[in-house]
Amino acid sequence: MKKMIKMLGVAGLAAASLATTSVSNAQPYAIAGAFNGWNNTAPFSLGGGPTVYTNVMTGGTPGSYYSFKVIAVSGSWGVTYPSQNMQISYDANGQNTVYFYPGNFNDGWLPIQNRVGFVDPGNMSFEVIGDFTNPQWGDDPLAQMGLNSNGSGIYTNSYVIATPGTYNAKIRTPGTWNDFNIGTDFGGANNATFTTTVVNQTVVFQLDTVNGRWLAGVQAPPPVTNEVTFAVDMTAQTVAGNFNPSADTVLVSGSFNGWPGTGAGAFVLTNFPAYNGGSNTNIYYASVVITNLPSTPFQYKFTCNDSAYSGSGGYEPLANNRGFTMLATDGAISLPVVKFGDLNVSDYLSTPVNVTFSVDMTGAKSYPDGHVFDPTTDAVFLNGNFFQGQGGSWSAWNPIGLVTMQNNPIGSEVYTYTYQVAAGSLIQLQYKYGMYYAAATNYDNEAGAYQNHNRYIRITATGSYTNALDTFGDQYTEPSFGALTSASAGSGAVGVSWLGRPGVQLQVCTNLLQGWQNITETDGTNWVTGSASTKGFVSQTNVPAVQGSQFFRLQETW
């Protein structure tokens, strides 16, 4: 089944070249806090839609609080959200997930722009305090001002105010200002304000932690009930050997059920080939009833209990979260069938490949302390998504679990290592180098979190592949495929070159209305002719020229 046309070129004896189109996740925002040494360049991961950013904090002490803020412009403290620090708690597993929603909102909730939310860890309590309590702003507010949890990060309560007027309020951790407080900007010095107009008026306070929003002194909309159907295609994982239909389970986990991964509370999917009237025997689905506030956005991922995904907690190897939004009324939501990890069969290795990695350490400095590499005393490590199993898992960042690279050639500052990437592993290599030196406490010290090298195994026919030379600290990302060019090769031939990979082949035609001819041998599983480049192996071939125009394109298949 054909997936995507990536490039169209036109050639006669002198061929035209077109640039590939790429999608960039570049964004200005960063997240800084006690968990990353207040690094104001640490990036968010884009997920759940075009304007939702996420960051997962791990390794904390369960129940403890940590401070952080969102940076509007990476590397600058000029504008932050909130203006002061925000403090939230780690869950029972020592982790939490922060969401950032930039932009403006007109849903009736506050704040009206740049919201910061988090997954409810289940161990936090909240209360409302203000100038309408007795005593005003006191540390012993009335008991009924505590907010009650409705699940999924929703907290609410009502209060009767005797005298009409305009009042100020904040939401905080009961009895203290030290842990958590929310004003008009979710943690700043400003207060929430509201107005009552009649004697003994009942006002409602509500907090939605996941979506970073709250209501003060107004009636919240009633919840809606939606039946949400999730569906995922496990074809690629079955072919790659990373999913056993007779023994493994597919689940869905998200902000609506507390991100349980593959554990208790995750929704189990059932094999149902006839879903949507199709005949794909690898479709799994589940219909789940979710009750929450109307128009509430949720994020989720599919998970699998196969050991191939144990290193990622069972989550699909997909950088971004998926998302959907509750309807404004009761009803059903049928989400489209997606591929687990958005991966095709061709995205996995069908045979093992020996991959050679190399990195230039000349002038290399560790992150974030700036230690300058010393080739006489320091060592270089390699870690990536191909070490632990086949599901895209990394080794732990410690000297025992990592492989040490070798100085090659001896006397230079280039270090190499050849690793056999197993069949069933992803052809996309995500990896980092690390530096070992006496004062090092963390060997994930090439760059910040999630800032990896991204390259592709472009040919597999020889059983070996050599990556382009990396530079320590330069986190280069190769395009998946493309860079198609063509030009006269002389002797009645057109020279064509491209960035290929397994599952991608060259096509040619002389008339766009008469269809394309597949040059199947140019698929990266068969092809070996070409040259090295900074973007990986460049495939090359000569095609007999014809009178008039010739058209070339690259096409990815299943």
Instruction: Choose the final residue of a domain: 303, 319, 346.
Output: 346
What is the pLDDT at residue 220?
61
Where does 162-246 show beta strands of DSSP type E? Answer: 165-172, 181-182, 192-196, 201-208, 213-216, 224-233
Residues 402 and 425 in one domain: yes
Q: What is the pLDDT of residues 353-390, one digit of tens each?
A: 999 999 999 999 999 889 999 999 999 999 998 875 54
Residue 199 domain flag: no
Asked, for residue 459, whether it belongs to a domain, the answer is yes
Same domain membership, residue 411 and residue 356:
yes
Total domains in the fold of the chain: 4
490: alpha, beta or left? (left if phi > 0; alpha if psi -120 to 50)? left
Evaluate whether residue 386 is within a structural domain: yes
> What are the C-alpha distances in Å from 350 to residues 169, 314, 378, 423, 554?
61, 22, 37, 5, 21
Report if residue 124 sits inside a domain: no
Q: Which residue carries 């309807």 as its tokens?
A: 327
Contact 351, 460 (CB under 8 A): yes
- In the numeric block, which tokens belong to residue 419? 């690793």
Q: How many CB atoms lie within 10 A of CB 522?
A: 21
Convert the pLDDT of each residue in 291-317 to its tens digit: 887 888 888 999 999 988 877 788 888
CATH number at residue 444: 2.60.40.10
Domain holding 487, by residue range, is 2-22+481-557
Q: What is the 3-state secondary structure (H, E, C) of 345-398?
A: HHHECCCCEEEEEEEECCCCECCCCCCECCCCCCEEEEEECECECCCCECCCCC
Indicate the Cα dihedral angle 240, 242, 246, 252, nearest 10°.
-120
Tell me whether residue 140 is in a domain. no
**Identity of the amino acid at 161:** I
Quick one: tokens of 344?
């095709």
- Cβ atoms 448, 367 nearer than 8 A: yes
Identify whether residues 353 and 466 lie together within a single domain: yes
Give the end of a domain, one of 418, 447, 471: 471
CB-CB contact of 426 with 385 (8 Å): yes
- CATH number, domain with residue 106: 2.60.40
Check whether 16 has a pLDDT greater than 50. Answer: no
Q: Is the peptide bond before 502 cis (omega within 30 degrees of 0)?
A: no
Helix (H) or strand (E) holding 483: strand 482-490
Res 27 pLDDT > 70: no
Domain C-terminal end among 346, 362, 389: 346
Over residues 59-81, the mean pLDDT reads 86
**What does the alpha-carbon distance between residue 134 and residue 113 come to, in Å, rounded to a whole number?**
32
Kindly state whether residues 238 and 330 are assigned to the same domain.
yes
* pLDDT (0 to 100) of residue 123: 85
* 128-137, 154-163, 200-209: least confidently modelled range: 128-137
User: What tens digit of pLDDT does each residue of 192-245 get?
Assistant: 788 888 888 888 888 888 888 888 776 667 789 999 999 999 999 999 888 999
Residue 176's contacts (CB-CB under 8 Å, 6 or more residues apart) are 139
| DSSP-assigned letter for residue 422 | P
Cα–Cα dist 191/207, whole Å = 15
Q: Per residue in 456-515, pLDDT tens?
A: 999 999 999 999 999 999 999 999 999 999 998 888 899 999 999 999 999 999 988 888
The candidate with the shortest Cα–Cα distance to 457, out of 503, 496, 518, 408, is: 503
At residue 248, does pLDDT exceed 90? yes
